[in-house]
Amino acid sequence: MSAILPPSRAIWWKQPLDRVEGTWIIIALLWCLIMFFMMPYWHVYGKQNTPSEAYRITPAAFQAKAQEVVDKYTVRTEGEGQYPVVKPPAGSDIYLIGRLWQWWPIYELEKNQTYRLHISSMDWQHGFSLQPDNINLQINPGYDMVVTVKPDKSGTYAIICNEYCGIGHHTMVGRIYIK
């Protein structure tokens, strides 16, 4: 019987599988398993994995840590003096603040060096979107997200905010230099 009527056989679960269905279920299941194991595989052999290290932190405490790095390693300012350009030593912990509506400060990093990039928001949620490389992370207030990052191409990168954060959202842009 058709799909809008009760099944014609009372014991419908004993009706054998159609051959087309059986073939497809096996193939589809195999594909599903491949996709599933691809994720742990990439954790072992891939170089781009989602960061899972994070700490709870207050905006004030995070700001203080960022300020410390800025005070120590600022080399110049840009953007009409609003943005210190900070050149921290390779391998160090660096702090990026997202707030209404800027990413602060500007970092100047060395190519092929690893940094522990901490990102947090001072107010609402923000989206860290590194362009043109297209790395996207969700930034929550109250959480210190630690991204171990190794820039492998030199150039000037922009950080766009891609989580809607109010009327100035589209003006929220930051910068990272890789030398």
- Judge whether 107 and 94 are in contact, CB under 8 Å: yes
Separation of alpha carbons 17 and 123, rounded Å? 56
Q: Give the interface segment with another protein, choosing from 60-68, 69-77, 78-86, 88-96 (CB under 8 A).
A: 78-86
* Chosen residue from 63, 108, 113, 130 binding another protein by CB under 8 A: 130
Separation of alpha carbons 143 and 69, rounded Å? 19
Query: If binding means CB under 8 A, how many residues of this protein chain bind another protein?
Result: 94
> Least separation, in Å, of the C-beta of 179 and another protein?
15
Any contact of residue 122 with another protein (CB under 8 A)? no
Rg (CA), the chain: 24
Any contact of residue 60 with another protein (CB under 8 A)? no
> Least separation, in Å, of the C-beta of 73 and another protein?
19
* Chosen residue from 65, 74, 125, 177 binding another protein by CB under 8 A: 125
Reported as type and span, the H/E element at residue 26 is: helix 19-45
Residue ranges in 33-52 that form contacts with another protein under rule CB under 8 A: 33, 35-36, 38-40, 42-43, 46-52
Separation of alpha carbons 104 and 24, rounded Å? 52
Q: Give the interface segment with another protein, choosing from 28-36, 68-76, 89-97 (CB under 8 A).
A: 28-36
CA distances from residue 58 to 4, 141, 143 in whole angstroms, order as listed: 57, 8, 8
